[in-house]
Amino acid sequence: MAAEKINIIGVPMDLGQTRRGVDMGPSAIRYAGVVERLENLHFTIEDSGDIKIGKREKAMEEPLYNLKNLKAVSEASELLASKVDEVIKTGAFPLVLGGDHSIAIGTLAGLAKNYKNLGVIWYDAHGDLNTADTSPSGNIHGMPLAASLGIGDESLTGIAGFSPKIKPENVVIIGARSLDEGERELIKEKGIRVYTMHEVDRLGMTRIMEETIEYLKDRTDGVHLSLDLDGLDPHDAPGVGTPVIGGISYRESHLAMEMLAESEMITSAEFVEVNPILDERNKTASVAVALMGSLFGEKLL
C-alpha cells in the first residue's frame, strides 16, 4: 500500500434498498475493531465520521419511475464524492464503510476526479449494472456500476458534474452468480470482464487474481476495490440484505485480499452491505475487518 495514512469515511446509507439495518454497517465495522486492526499494521488512521444521509421517501413522493429514494441517494452521493476527493488530496487512502452499495456512485465520482483511468474490482454476487428500465426492484444499490459507466438516470450518472467515471474495459467483476437479463446484455455489449462463480470453481482464486492484477496493472492509474460482503457465501457473511447461496469462501477472499496487498495496486477501497440486524453476533462486520487486515498487508509470519 503506497499511502501511510488511511482515512475512514462512514456512509450510513440504507436508501438504496428496502431492508432496514444496513445504515448501521459503519458502526458495526467500527465496533468490530477496524481502527485497532489497521493501527497494528502501522498505519496512521483518521476517522472522518459519517456522511449525512437524508430521509426515506414515501413511494408517492418519488418523482421518477423505478428509482427509490432517488433524491436522497443522489444528495448523499454528492457529499461522499466531495469527501473522497478531499481525502485523496491529503495523500491518505480512502477507506469507505457502507451502507448499501448505492454509495459506490459517490465513491467512484470522488475517485474519478483524481484518476483518468481508474480500475475497479467489483467483488460481488451481483453485477449492479441495472438502470430504472432493467431493474426488477427499483433499488438503486443494484445500479451503481451502470451509473458509474455513464448508463442510467442523469441524477445518478451526473454526480460531481461529469460522466462517465470509469471505462468498461477497466472493470473486473468477481464472484457473480445473480445477474438480471439487462445486466447480462450490458456485460456482453460493453465487453466487461466477469469472473462468475463458475470461473472461481474452475480456475481457482489464485489464477483469477493473477489475471486480474495483470489485466489492470498497465491500463490503470489507480485501482479501487468495491467489496460487497454478499460476494462471500452467506455461510461466512450472513449479515447482508440480498444473500445468494454458493458464494466465495472466507479463505478464498483472504487469498484475494493478500494477493491485492502484494500487488500494491489498490489505491482506495469500500466495504458495503454489512447489515448488523440480519447478522449473527456481528460476524459479517468482523469478516469485513479481517479482510481489510489482509488487504492492508497483515501476515501471520
Ligand X SMILES: NC(=[NH2+])NCCC[C@H](N)C(=O)O
Q: CA quadruple 59, 61, 65, 67: dihedral positive or negative?
A: negative
What does 50 bind: Mn ion, ligand X, none (CB cut-off 5 to 8 Å by kind)? Answer: none
Is 68 one of the binding residues for ligand X (CB under 6 A)?
no
Per CB under 6 A, contacts with ligand X among 90-119 are 101
Q: What are phi and psi of 28, to 5 degrees?
A: -65, -40
Annotated active-site residue 47? The verdict is no
Is residue 222 within 8 A of residue 166, CB to CB? The reply is: no
State the residue for C-alpha cell 468495491: 226
Q: How many CB atoms lie within 10 A of CB 40?
A: 12
Annotated active-site residue 198? The verdict is no
Report the alpha-carbon distance of residue 46 to residue 52 in Å, rounded: 18
- Which one is catalytic: 128, 183, 258, 279? 128
Give the CB-nearest residue to ligand X.
Answer: 142
Query: Quick one: 231 or 293, whose CB is closer to ligand X?
Result: 231
What does 130 bind: ligand X, Mn ion, none (CB cut-off 5 to 8 Å by kind)? Answer: ligand X
- Which one is catalytic: 50, 75, 78, 141? 141
Report the alpha-carbon distance of residue 219 to residue 227 in Å, rounded: 21
Q: Which of 74, 77, 130, 226 binds ligand X (CB under 6 A)?
A: 130
Closest distance to ligand X from the beta carbon of 292 (Å)? 19
- Which one is catalytic: 270, 273, 279, 298? 273
Is 136 one of the binding residues for ligand X (CB under 6 A)?
yes
The alpha carbon of residue 163 and the mean position of all alpha carbons in its chain are separated, in whole angstroms, by: 19
Is residue 176 within 8 A of residue 152, CB to CB? The reply is: no
Q: Which of 77, 107, 131, 135 binds ligand X (CB under 6 A)?
A: 135
Cα angle, residue 156 at apex, residues 70 and 11 outer, rounded to 5°:
70
Query: Quick one: 91 or 136, whose CB is closer to ligand X?
Result: 136
Is 153 one of the binding residues for ligand X (CB under 6 A)?
no
Closest distance to ligand X from the beta carbon of 104 (Å)? 8
Residues within the interface to Mn ion (CB under 5 A): 101, 124-126, 128, 228, 230
Closest distance to ligand X from the beta carbon of 111 (Å)? 18
User: What ranges make up the beta strands (E) of the chain?
Assistant: 5-11, 44-50, 93-98, 118-123, 171-176, 193-196, 222-228, 266-272
What does 139 bind: ligand X, Mn ion, none (CB cut-off 5 to 8 Å by kind)? Answer: ligand X
Candidates 33-41, 122-130, 161-169, 213-221; binding stretch for ligand X (CB under 6 A): 122-130
**86-91 contacts at long range (C-beta below 8 A, 24 or more positions apart):** 87/7, 87/9, 87/48, 88/113, 88/114, 88/268, 89/114, 90/5, 90/7, 91/3, 91/5
Query: Quick one: 78 or 128, whose CB is closer to ligand X?
Result: 128
Q: What are phi and psi of 294, to 5 degrees?
A: -65, -40
Q: Under the rule (CB under 6 A), what is the footprint of ligand X?
A: 101, 126, 128, 130, 135-137, 139, 141-142, 180, 228, 230, 242, 273
Q: Which residues are catalytic?
A: 101, 124, 126, 128, 141, 228, 230, 273
